[in-house]
Structure 1
């Protein structure tokens, strides 16, 4: 199995536009969850843990600007890239969007192809392995394109689940991920796996990482989960 598909939260109140964007995002290999208002967007964010948010500015109930402000004010969601979509083309509006915390600002009407490229650009910051990038944390190197892992220059033999687990931890070095989060990111949202399975595979990953010596780089945070480094 390969690294799970990145998840995009698409927030757009115009049905036709939402349908076109969802179709193109899925064609690019993304898993898409969508909302047509800001309140639902915040609930979906907490339920799905997306890798990127594509967010319309003008929406009923809660504006995109307010959704962006709330997400960027919370530690658990601050690092997730947000691409703001808006018909507002004045410099003052772009500045307001970016100052609120948006990582990119796209003016309507826009090229769908350009938007897909911008989504991939933002994704490289948080899910590098999912787009075939090379990851390096300390003396550990993971090459997603060749599916190889090295530590201090020595190649390691990892099973497919341990590879995905390591990639997920390396994409967020230092960040503590709960067992539930790891289940979603590594095994997928539609697969039922007991949380104790995470502990088993973390144990296998630790053994593989230390086969040639060196300290255990995987940190256990009691009651919270695991982190790399």
Structure 2
């Protein structure tokens, strides 16, 4: 029996990388998945097609996060699609995965670099959670994608780590607020994962990849499915007693 039969899930940034793996995994467990994207129409269509080819159900919703009205646009599109497909705007699982990374040390981070990351990674996530929770019944799941860099210092990604540290604080605090409603809230923290976001350096040379692999307890670079499987557990009823938790999905990086 699939763990998410009859459930509806929204995955922000769900068309590529970790987000695509999560979308496909949740659909494989029976969920109807709303695959959100901002600008890459082709990637979102490919993800939905892959899900449908595997016997799952999915559809695309678009909203460019980090701009005024982003969450309103997202939920207007989501509500219309869900009402047409299910007769209701009910949502069971939110995976807030969309995010951006910009490099910068303390002295080289401009206000624009700082603000862009907080607009997408923190502010947009906050208001997407707000909208999602308003559509959830008991048993809902809020899963926030964080990063292992909130626990390990990497100076050239200072503002990025700060923007994700706020996500960890949100998960902890909302877990207490939403617990009486039977909604769990957790953050899942990937480490170095082989995705397009990391391609510029991770795939640049064998040496770079070997160095990244050596940081993990398993001696390999993570794959998107490694994170998606953790998310699928947190989304399931098996994780009903897990909330306010930071789940380290870094493969034991820098232990």
TM normalised by structure 1 equals 0.41
Q: Which has the higher helix share?
A: 2
Q: Which has the higher strand share?
A: 1
- Which structure is higher in RCO with an 8 Å CA cutoff and minimum separation 6? 2
